[in-house]
Chain A
Amino acid sequence: MKCKEGPPVLIIRVGDAFCKACFKDYFVHKFRATLGKNRCIFPGEKVLLAFSGGPASSAMVRQVQEGLSRDAAKKLRFKPGIVFVDEGAVCGQDLGKRREVHSQVEMILRATGFPFHLVHLEEVFDLPGSILRSISHNATDDSQSYKEAVDGFIRRQQQQQSERTGDSLPGQLSELSVRCPPGKEAVEVPGPLSVSHTAELTHLFRAVKTLTAKEELLQTLRNHLILHVARTNGYTKVMMGDSCTRVAVKLLANLCLGRGAFLAGDTGFSDSRHGDVLVLRPMREYSAKEIAFYNRLFGVPAVFTPSLDTKVRGAALHRSSPPVPAAQIQRPCSPPPPAPGRPPHYPLISFLYKLQSEFPATISTVYRTGEKLGTTPRDAGGDAEPERCLLCLCHLDTSVVDGSSLQSTLLSEELCRKPPPSAGSGCCGGAPNETGCCRSSPTAGAVPSQAVLFPLLCYSCRLTVKDMTCLEPLPPYVHSEAERRQRRAAMKQEIQEFLLEDDLPAS
């Protein structure tokens, strides 16, 4: 027992009993300590909380509320906003159900008093190509004007704040509304759903053959959309609610998906792949169990939002949050069994829980293994910074190293495919010929074949794209950015001999 007063209500680890009040202190303190330890959020900075309706991100929102309501000395000093992405269209929800979830989420978010953004996944069809570019802080390119505007805005805000503290000037009103909701301009509820976009989205996911690839694609699109909300609203940090349990699952899943080079970025506390907007994971030191307890003891509401798997048949590598069924909460010491109602064929989840029940340190060991990983590529070929993957924005891990697995796979594919050019993807059978028919019409609307897209993708995103029957339904921003990169690569090819430095800021 921490204190000698309150009755013990739960045991997190053996010999670590908490009463309700102590548990709350412990939980709230951990959040602040995680942020304090990493020192990356500046006072007054706008931080976007990614809220999925699940237990971990719900608890995260509550932690920020707690942090902001505390006495001045301990108070968090950033300006939060919340984003919720409605994925109903790809989870088989009809409009009625989506509206229901919507109003439920809206009610929860309104109650937080923070500004919030409710967006539909359909909005990915209106994203700009620039979402696929990593924008460095000192970019000088003209195309980044909006980024500069955002920077300038923040700079001005900060100046104003330091110059006249306390004054409520017109310029500060919008900022103030962040703190004193419900300020009208701070709440973004989407307009009427574009029916055609819903159809496009369904079409896109129907073109993906496997559930694993569907989950990967969904996550990619969701991240792009969240990043877009952050950029257009001047948020410079995004907080994701990945718990320790989820981090462990993600580490293993991504390891199996060929993302070994990216594990640190995919699961670490901070992820800088987008350049201007930093992704943070402040919940990664909480176990799913702790979170379930907290939410139950302190009445944190959660929304049930179905994931892909409840609709689609077949196995997947598992992506959505590990289920913590209600029954688990009464028996804190046993590992959570697979939730009822879900297909039991998540190989990784069931594997981890089985191991965890035999070797109770499994999840924490996996988590700690992840802590030891870095982002430095082991075989940095040359001085130039490698290109970034078109979809996940990680540095490409596809240089063909002698004796590597990738080299062998490419050789196997080459040896197994010889004479009859299989009429598969694209008009020229996916021939990697630069001057072939696929390249002859690089205007918008030209459908890229896999062979054209592949050089722009990391190993793992190639696997996702390989599982698509056709690439045409991908949102326009993916196509336009792919074409832009191809044009730049062609340009570079042309002027190669005159370049002294290999690495021009291409994006």
Chain B
Amino acid sequence: MPAPVLCQSCGAGRAALRRPKTGRALCRACFVAAFEAEVHGTIVSARLFQPGETVAVGASGGKDSTVLAHLLRLLNERHGYGLRLLLLSIDEGIAGYRDDSLEAVRRNRGRLGLPLHVLSYQELYGWSMDRIARHVGPKNNCTFCGVFRRQALDRGAALLGADKIATGHNADDVAETVLMNFLRGDVGRLRRCAGILTGGEGTLPRCKPLKHAYEKEIVLYAYFQGLDYFSTECVYAPNAYRGHTRTLLKDLEAVRPSAVADLVHSGERLAVREDVRMPTQGICQRCGYLSSQPLCKACVLLEGLNRGLPRLGIGKPSRLQKALTGAEKPEAGFQEDSEQSSNAVRTIDF
């Protein structure tokens, strides 16, 4: 029998894991303590919260948001942040997908003793994802789902009177997004996506307390703490880019274990040339949500859905955007216009 490896931190306990982030062998207690101390460290040094704030925690039932809710409640008590926490879940209306994950959220709510609010797409937008899927086909689903979800949290949190939204984005998510935005040439997002506290002006501020936590460590933490979560891989096929990027990230980690942190560091330090024109952030004429166009993406998609031309909003903000913002264009004119563009839809490059 080989001698047990001792914890490299306390030197006493038997090591239970090798930390992905540092490569060190730790005992269970030391890992849990370090993980909690690090998230606390991030919250304090990045000044994510102010005493007295109401924070809506986006709760999907997945591992990230489950660990986030658990940690925020724990650290709020332990360090006296003085926050009022509430869980906010969005029900997209995908049969069999949310049913189970919402169940997981409800179980956790009981355990955490935090108020839970569930808002559905149906309530927020008048459309459930399953109904949307029937209209747009399975290929463009994730566009709708993602756009609506981003806003759903904002709309819901505002409805509940929250001051801030906390999301479960982890270091792997941020690294992946940095790569994706780089591949897509979206420098505006490239600059924003690595931020830990974003928003304000019109929308609620959002923060990512788990921004520096490795996905694997989040799973390890949930495992050691006996947290129950539901795997929330979307049932509709994820887009090809993200799939490839995720695979790449895993390959990179195999080559260099710090790859995730290295990418996040790169994202934080990227400098966009001063003379590069950035899309000006305005506010949606219709709903008031942040948007670089006169109408936000969600309102455009919704308009498409409601007009029975659901795929119009996908792709470049072009004719529909113009048609919709072209003040009070006569309905007949718009119909004509959309007739033509529905022919063009087939060639739109997604």
- Select from chain A the residue with minimum beta-carbon distance to B19: A416
A282 to chain B, nearest CB (A): 20
B residues 33-72 touching A (CB-CB < 8 Å):
33-34, 37-38, 41-42, 45-48
B264 contacts A405, C-beta separation under 8 Å: yes
Q: Is B166 an interface residue (CB 8 A)?
A: no
- Select from chain A the residue with minimum beta-carbon distance to B266: A260
- Chain A residues with Cβ below 8 Å from B184 are 365
Q: Is A431 an interface residue (CB 8 A)?
A: no
A260 contacts B256, C-beta separation under 8 Å: no
Which of B21-29, B77-85, B122-130, B338-346 forms contacts with chain A? B21-29
B45 contacts A407, C-beta separation under 8 Å: yes
A residues 294-323 touching B (CB-CB < 8 Å):
315-317
Interface residue tally of chain A, by bracket?
A: 35 or more
Complexed CA–CA distance, A409 and B21 (Å): 8
A415 contacts B273, C-beta separation under 8 Å: no
Which of A150-158, A179-187, A351-359 forms contacts with chain B? A351-359
Which of B4-12, B139-147, B300-308 forms contacts with chain A? B4-12
B272 contacts A374, C-beta separation under 8 Å: yes
A19 to chain B, nearest CB (A): 31
Contact A402/B252 with A355-B244, A372-B187, A372-B276 known, Cβ cut-off 8 Å: no
- Chain B residues with Cβ below 8 Å from A418 are 9-11
B38 contacts A368, C-beta separation under 8 Å: no
Q: Is A122 an interface residue (CB 8 A)?
A: no
Q: Is B132 an interface residue (CB 8 A)?
A: no
Q: Is B329 an interface residue (CB 8 A)?
A: no
- Chain A residues with Cβ below 8 Å from B47 are 402-403
Complexed CA–CA distance, A409 and B266 (Å): 14
B182 contacts A358, C-beta separation under 8 Å: no
A459 contacts B270, C-beta separation under 8 Å: no
B22 contacts A412, C-beta separation under 8 Å: yes
- Chain B residues with Cβ below 8 Å from A463 are 256, 258, 262
B24 to chain A, nearest CB (A): 4
> Which of B178, B183, B196 touches A366 (beta carbons < 8 Å)?
B183
> Which of A354, A362, A373 touches B271 (beta carbons < 8 Å)?
A373
Contact A406/B271 with A347-B255, A415-B38 known, Cβ cut-off 8 Å: no
- Chain B residues with Cβ below 8 Å from A212 are 255-256
Task: Indicate the member of B10, B178, B244 with the most A CB atoms within 10 Å.
Answer: B244
Which of A27-35, A375-383, A432-440, A446-454 forms contacts with chain B? A375-383
- Chain A residues with Cβ below 8 Å from B332 are none
A136 to chain B, nearest CB (A): 21
Complexed CA–CA distance, A221 and B251 (Å): 27
Q: Is B168 an interface residue (CB 8 A)?
A: no
- Chain B residues with Cβ below 8 Å from A377 are 269, 271
Q: Is B298 an interface residue (CB 8 A)?
A: no
- Select from chain A the residue with minimum beta-carbon distance to B262: A258
Interface of B is mostly: helix
Complexed CA–CA distance, A255 and B269 (Å): 10
A375 to chain B, nearest CB (A): 6
B327 to chain A, nearest CB (A): 34
B262 contacts A261, C-beta separation under 8 Å: no
Contact A358/B8 with A402-B47, A415-B34, A417-B24 known, Cβ cut-off 8 Å: no
> Which of A258, A365, A408 touches B38 (beta carbons < 8 Å)?
A408
Q: Is A392 an interface residue (CB 8 A)?
A: no
A263 contacts B270, C-beta separation under 8 Å: yes
B9 contacts A417, C-beta separation under 8 Å: yes
A210 to chain B, nearest CB (A): 7
> Which of A261, A264, A369 touches B182 (beta carbons < 8 Å)?
A369
Task: Indicate the member of A255, A413, A463 with the most B CB atoms within 10 Å.
Answer: A255
- Chain B residues with Cβ below 8 Å from A256 are 179, 252, 259, 262-263, 266
Q: Is B240 an interface residue (CB 8 A)?
A: yes
Complexed CA–CA distance, A460 and B256 (Å): 12
B38 contacts A347, C-beta separation under 8 Å: no
- Chain B residues with Cβ below 8 Å from A252 are 179, 182-183
Q: Is B161 an interface residue (CB 8 A)?
A: no
- Select from chain B the residue with minimum beta-carbon distance to A368: B185
| Per-position binary interface string of chain A over residues 399-434, scored 1 when its CB falls under 8 Å from any chain B CB and 0 otherwise | 001111111110111011111101000000000000
A397 contacts B38, C-beta separation under 8 Å: no
Q: Is B133 an interface residue (CB 8 A)?
A: no
Q: Is A207 an interface residue (CB 8 A)?
A: no
- Chain B residues with Cβ below 8 Å from A358 are 240
Contact A376/B274 with A260-B269, A369-B182, A412-B22 known, Cβ cut-off 8 Å: yes
| Per-position binary interface string of chain A over residues 250-282, scored 1 when its CB falls under 8 Å from any chain B CB and 0 otherwise | 011011111111011000000000000000000
Q: Is A22 an interface residue (CB 8 A)?
A: no
> Which of B197, B240, B251, B273 touches A351 (beta carbons < 8 Å)?
B251
Q: Is A333 an interface residue (CB 8 A)?
A: no
- Select from chain B the residue with minimum beta-carbon distance to A459: B265
Q: Is B171 an interface residue (CB 8 A)?
A: yes
Task: Indicate the member of B30, B182, B190 with the most A CB atoms within 10 Å.
Answer: B182
Contact A369/B171 with A260-B265, A347-B248, A408-B41 known, Cβ cut-off 8 Å: no
- Chain B residues with Cβ below 8 Å from A376 are 271, 273-274
B252 contacts A362, C-beta separation under 8 Å: no
Q: Is B218 an interface residue (CB 8 A)?
A: no
Q: Is B261 an interface residue (CB 8 A)?
A: yes
Q: Is B100 an interface residue (CB 8 A)?
A: no
- Chain B residues with Cβ below 8 Å from A419 are 9-11
- Select from chain B the residue with minimum beta-carbon distance to A369: B185
- Chain B residues with Cβ below 8 Å from A366 are 182-183, 185
Q: Is A108 an interface residue (CB 8 A)?
A: no
Complexed CA–CA distance, A397 and B272 (Å): 15
B262 contacts A264, C-beta separation under 8 Å: no
Q: Is B267 an interface residue (CB 8 A)?
A: yes
Complexed CA–CA distance, A404 and B46 (Å): 8
- Chain B residues with Cβ below 8 Å from A218 are none
Complexed CA–CA distance, A463 and B187 (Å): 26
Contact A261/B9 with A416-B19, A416-B22 known, Cβ cut-off 8 Å: no
B residues 249-296 touching A (CB-CB < 8 Å):
251-252, 254-256, 258-259, 261-274, 276
Contact A354/B265 with A255-B179, A374-B272, A412-B34 known, Cβ cut-off 8 Å: no
Q: List 22 A-B contacts (CB under 8 A).
A: A254-B266, A255-B182, A255-B266, A256-B262, A317-B256, A351-B247, A355-B183, A359-B241, A362-B183, A366-B183, A373-B270, A373-B271, A397-B265, A403-B45, A405-B211, A412-B19, A412-B34, A415-B34, A416-B9, A417-B24, A419-B9, A419-B10
Known contacts A405-B268, A418-B9, A463-B262; 14 additional CB pairs below 8 A are A210-B256, A251-B182, A315-B254, A317-B256, A365-B184, A376-B271, A376-B274, A403-B47, A404-B265, A409-B258, A415-B34, A416-B26, A418-B10, A419-B10
Residues of chain B at the chain A interface (Cβ within 8 Å): 8-11, 19, 21-22, 24, 26, 30, 33-34, 37-38, 41-42, 45-48, 171, 178-179, 182-185, 187, 190, 196-197, 211-212, 240-241, 244, 247-248, 251-252, 254-256, 258-259, 261-274, 276
7 closest A-B pairs (Cβ-Cβ)? A403-B46, A260-B266, A408-B212, A374-B273, A347-B251, A258-B262, A261-B269
